[in-house]
Amino acid sequence: MWIVVDVEADGPAPGLYSMISFGAVIVEEGDARSFKGETAPITDAYIAEALAVSGLSRAEHEAFPPPEHAMKAFAAWVAPFGRPTFISDNPAFDWQFINYYFHRFTGKNPFGHSARRIGDLYAGLVRKVGAASEWKKLRRTTHTHDPVDDARGNVEALFAFAKQYDLKLPSN
């Protein structure tokens, strides 16, 4: 099972800064199943410009539920899928937050210790390293920084280039 995940955060590193929200969308045709979590800050530090990307104020972010609620609910949502594969536009960012929050608030990460980057998959298919961001033009859902919208757009792009290049995606 492939699950595309997107994270919004108020800074570049978990533990030093906080995850604001995250979205997950199953890589499946049609109206794919999705999950959204929102998390109150875990630190007092934040970068105003990073928080502004989410369209939220610090007070709005502080009003979100404690992170353990979202992470336990996400773990329960992921559980029926066994050991899913984490897919992301930028796993160097997204995975680190999800991994940290899973370990801190649930004790383990159901995705394990690895992730896949959409841009690398695309660059390999087109056999051009410099093409790693060209796949983004294949999104149908507008990139809004709502993490479910962004993950959904990434799933759409995956299916578009899989069809174009006859790539067999895992069947869920």
Residue located via tokens 């049609």: 30
170 in a structural domain: no
Give the residue with greater pLDDT, 133 vs 161. Answer: 161
Name the helix (H) or strand (E) containing 30: none
98 in a structural domain: yes
169 in a structural domain: no
CB 36 within 8 A of CB 114: no
> Strand 85-88 and strand 2-9: pairing?
parallel
Residue among 116, 109, 113, 86 nearest 23 (CA): 86
pLDDT of residue 33: 95
Q: How confident is the model at residue 119 (pLDDT cuts 50, 70, 90)?
A: very high
How much is the CA Rg of the chain, to the nearest whole Å? 16
96 in a structural domain: yes
Give the residue with greater pLDDT, 31 vs 68. Answer: 68
Q: Mean of the per-residue pLDDT values for the chain?
A: 95
CATH of the domain at 144: 3.30.420.10
pLDDT reading at 172 higher than 70: no
pLDDT of residue 145: 93
The parent domain of residue 108 ranges over: 2-164
Active site residues: 145
Cα(64)–Cα(81) distance, rounded to whole angstroms? 27
The total domain count for the chain is 1
Residue located via tokens 């796993």: 91
pLDDT of residue 31: 81
65-102: per-residue pLDDT in tens? 999 999 999 999 999 998 899 999 999 999 999 999 99
- Residue type (1 letter), 1: M
pLDDT of residue 132: 81
Residue 17 backbone dihedrals phi, psi, to 5 degrees: -130, -175
